[in-house]
Amino acid sequence: MSGTLRPRPVMLAVLALLTSLALLVAARSLSQYPVRQAAELRRQLATAHDLRFETRVQLDTALLQYETDNRIKISGEHTWRARSCGAPFSAMRS
């Protein structure tokens, strides 16, 4: 019986894989929220024709800052996700 896998470790490995996949999908969806929100604000700004130039520049600048901040945060989250995906597999190897 040395070459057969026991059901419990296999089930734990499948559970770890499915949990990691679910976490990745949830994290991806959450990380895209600021991008979708910024795109909607940019559309609203583009259709607002009654804004003064100064106000439009201030809003556009604030929106650009918001987009830049979120891109920096998202790139940091990608590092966290990559490490968290590898954790269950590292645990299974030991």
**pLDDT tens, 32-87?**
778 888 889 889 988 988 989 999 999 999 999 988 887 777 666 666 666 676 66
| pTM summary value | 0.49
Q: Tell me how many domains the chain contains.
A: 1
Counting Cα atoms < 13 Å in the Cβ hemisphere of 74 gives 15
Residue 70 CB contacts under 8 Å (≥ 6 apart), including other chains: 34, 35, 38
Is residue 26 assigned to a domain? no
CA 45 to chain centre: 26
Is residue 22 assigned to a domain? no
Is residue 47 assigned to a domain? yes
Q: 30 with 66: CB under 8 angstroms? A: no
Q: 94 with 29: CB under 8 angstroms? A: no
> How does DSSP classify residue 55?
H
Structural domain range at position 82: 33-94
Per residue in 6-29, pLDDT (tens digit) is 678 888 888 888 988 888 887 777
